[in-house]
Structure formats: structure tokens, C-alpha cells
A and B are shown apart, each in its own frame.
Chain A
Amino acid sequence: MIKSFLIFILLILVSCGESKPPPNPEVFEIKNIGELATSEYTVGKIVKLDDSDAAWYKPGDRKILINCKAKIKAGIDLNQIKNSDIIINGRTIEIIIPAAKVISFTMDSKYSYTAMESVSGLRDSFTQEEKNDFLRQGEKAIKKELKNTKILDEATKNAEMFIENFYKRMGYEEVIVNKTIPE
């Protein structure tokens, strides 16, 4: 009787086992691009979470501080320059460049670390899934705050300087760089 009961319990457990097979990755993508990155910002942010105001029936609290870093590059898309955007008149060249944009954003886990983690009472420790979610929120906040920096202005200025220097080294005496006004 006991044996059958134990076998029954084991069978239930086996039937409930959740073992997800690893997913198949998507097919890769190769794209031809032509981006000139001219300004690189390294920014930092402290991702802070204090869960002490959680529901009254959850004894204890959870606190975490994660230090993260992101590297952002901004510049112009050279592929957007059409042949008609380059006008040569003797020793003078005039070029219209597109508006600057953020070209790349990376927030490598190599530069992110948990600075403080505190869990008390009956609360659960932070899982990696939760930490990744906090970092996602941090990433979103950084992307939002980037608009308040001068990264795009600096990228445009540096792109103008690079293009001017490039054509001057080709022998042009005057290089006129016109910027496209961002939408």
C-alpha cells in the first residue's frame, strides 16, 4: 500500500517536471553599412532598487545597487550621401552630410557589477532574471537621458572636421560642409 502510494506520488512528480529544451537561435543577418562614428561617450549609472515598501505580509526587505556602464557612439550615415550631395568646383568642394544619430549602444556585463545586495527576513534572493530586468530598466533610462547630452552636436561637429580634413588632404583648398537639419 505504502509502496503504491509512493510510486503514485513519484509518477505525479515525473509528469509535472518542467525541463524546457534550449531554444533554437535565429538565423544571423549580414548588412552592408557605411557609418562614420565620430563621438564616443562612456556613461555610468547606479541601478538602485529598494523593496522595503513591499506588501505588509512579506516580512523583510530586499535592496540592491548595481553599477553599470554603457558605451555610445554617434556619427553620420555615409550611405545617405548621394552623388548629387557632392559638388566640385575647381579647388572647392561642397558636401551635404546627413544629420547625426546614435550609431551604436553597448552595455556589456563585463563592466556591470552588483555593488550591494541585501535580503532579509523570508524574502527571496535576487535572481539573475530579476537583475537582468533591472539592467534593462537602467539601459532604457540611459537611452532616455542621452537626449539631454550634447552627443549628437559633438558628433556633427567632429564629422564636419573629419570630412574637411579628409578633402583638404586630397588637395582641395576650400571645403564647405552643409549639415542636414535633423527632423
Chain B
Amino acid sequence: MKDLKKLVINILILSFIALIGYLVYLFFIKDNESDSLIIDETPMHIESIRTIAEISTVSFKDEVVMDSIEFFDSSINLSNPLDWFEASERVYNRNVKRRLTIIVKGEIKYGIDLTSNNFKISQNNDTLWLNIPKPKILDILVSPSETEIFQEQGHWSDGARRQLENLAKRRIQFSAENLNLDKKATENAERLFRKLINTQKELIIYFE
């Protein structure tokens, strides 16, 4: 009974020392996420300039959540004191070893790309024909300011985050395709060209 009491007291003392050590690490050594690190000023360089002619007629904005989770898979031996830390970690994190959850807000623009002058206009006395390419996805816009790292547990590589972001982009694109936005883009393009052409003749627009 006396030994047991001594053991508990020793455990409590060790726990107290560990707690003090942890608090010192937390307040003095650990790089706190709330400490805002400011990047150095570096020049921006222009890599390329391109003349384009893209008419966007539909914008689709969406927000997706991507979650990557990894659980502890092997069993541990509770009678081994070396495994106790991992056991407490498993309990604390609900058996989750690593987790990365990101929220990506993206925008997709549908429209017509006329960059290579790929449109034809022909007319007679009472009809005007305009042949233009079919609308397609012109841009999938994502940026760090529209991306939030919601939860990061464990160490994650850049590649893993990039993979999640690519999946998010694909999911936004999939949602857009399910909404038949190319049809809406065609209707809007037709309305826009009718306004710009402003003719007394009959206007026939072909999308090819």
C-alpha cells in the first residue's frame, strides 16, 4: 500500500514536470500560428504577355470541402509504458493519425475563345450569318486567398495539399458540367452578339 502511494506521488510529480516543460515549449519555443509572419518584399517579374480575345458569358462560383484523413492502423500494447504516449494521442484524436481539411472557393468561366480569329461573318441583302465556336470552359479560377486550411493535424507535404486542391477543382468543374452551363453560355453569347451587331437584317448565329 505504501509502495502504491509512493508510485502515484512519483507519477504526479513526473506529470507536473512534464506539464511545466510543455508550457515552456508552448509559450517560448513553439512557433505560434497566431504570430503573423510577414514575407519579405521581392520583385514581381512578367513571364509572358499574350493578346487574346475571349468572351466569357457565364460565371459559376462554388465552394467545396476536401477532407483527407488517415487513421492509426496497428494495435498497441498497453502494458508497455513506451506505448502510453501513443495511446493517449489515439484517444485524444479519436484514432485519427493525420487529417487535412481544406475549403476551396473557385470560379469557372464559360465562353467563346476567338483568339485565333476563328469566326466568320457573311451576309446578303436581308440576312447576316455569324459562325462562331461553341462555348467551353475558359478558366477555372482558384487562389490562396480563396483557399482555407480548415484543419491540419500531423505533417502534410505540399504535394498532398496540391492533390486535394486539384480534386477540389475537378469537383467544381463536375458541378458546373452537371448544370449544363455550356447551354446557358450559348444563349448568353447569342444575346450579347445580337446586341453588338444591331442590324436590321435577319441575324443567324451558328455555333460550331
Nearest-CB residue, chain B, relative to A77: B56
Q: Known contacts being A25-B63, A129-B33, is A86 close to B152, with CB within 8 Å?
A: no
Q: A9 contacts the other chain (Cβ, under 8 Å)?
A: yes
Which residues of chain B from 69 to 89 have any CB-CB distance to chain A below 8 Å in the complex? Answer: 88
Distance between Cα atoms of A165 and B94 in the complex (Å)? 65
Pick the contact of B150: A20, A30, A45, A134 (CB < 8 A). A20
Across the A-B interface, how many residue pairs have beta carbons closer than 8 Å?
A: 250
CB proximity of B2 to chain A, nearest CB, Å:
12
Q: Tell me whether B51 and A38 are in contact (CB under 8 A).
A: yes
CB 8 Å contact bits of B12-43 with A (1 = contact, 0 = none): 00000000000000001111010011111111
Interface residues on A, range: 35 or more
Q: B141 contacts the other chain (Cβ, under 8 Å)?
A: yes
Q: B204 contacts the other chain (Cβ, under 8 Å)?
A: no
Interface residues on B, range: 35 or more
Q: Tell me whether B29 and A33 are in contact (CB under 8 A).
A: no
Q: Tell me whether B57 and A130 are in contact (CB under 8 A).
A: no
Residues of A close to B161: CB separation below 8 A = 109, 128, 131
Distance between Cα atoms of A104 and B197 in the complex (Å)? 26
Q: Tell me whether A138 and B39 are in contact (CB under 8 A).
A: yes
Dominant secondary structure at the A interface: mixed
Q: Known contacts being A40-B52, A105-B143, is A29 close to B61, with CB within 8 Å?
A: yes
Q: Tell me whether B44 and A141 are in contact (CB under 8 A).
A: yes
A30, A134, A137, A171 — most chain B CB neighbours (10 Å):
A30
Q: A2 contacts the other chain (Cβ, under 8 Å)?
A: yes
Q: Known contacts being A57-B28, A104-B139, A136-B144, is A43 close to B152, with CB within 8 Å?
A: no
Which residues of chain B from 101 to 134 have any CB-CB distance to chain A below 8 Å in the complex? Answer: 101, 103, 107, 109, 111, 114, 117, 121, 123, 128
Residues of B close to A45: CB separation below 8 A = 42-45
Q: Tell me whether B41 and A141 are in contact (CB under 8 A).
A: yes
Residues of B close to A158: CB separation below 8 A = 51-53
Q: Tell me whether B58 and A36 are in contact (CB under 8 A).
A: no
Q: Known contacts being A30-B60, A35-B56, A128-B152, is A57 close to B181, with CB within 8 Å?
A: no
Q: Tell me whether B54 and A36 are in contact (CB under 8 A).
A: yes
Pick the contact of B33: A5, A113, A127 (CB < 8 A). A127
Residues of A within 8 A of B (CB): 1-2, 5, 9-10, 13-14, 16-17, 19-20, 22-26, 28-51, 57-59, 62, 69-70, 73, 75, 78-79, 81, 83, 86, 88, 103-110, 113-114, 122-125, 127-142, 145, 149, 154, 158, 162, 165-166, 169-171
List 23 interface pairs A-B (beta carbons < 8 Å), by A numbering: A2-B4, A9-B88, A17-B94, A30-B58, A31-B61, A35-B111, A39-B50, A39-B51, A41-B50, A48-B39, A58-B29, A73-B139, A107-B144, A109-B147, A109-B162, A124-B31, A125-B155, A129-B149, A134-B39, A166-B196, A170-B123, A170-B197, A170-B199
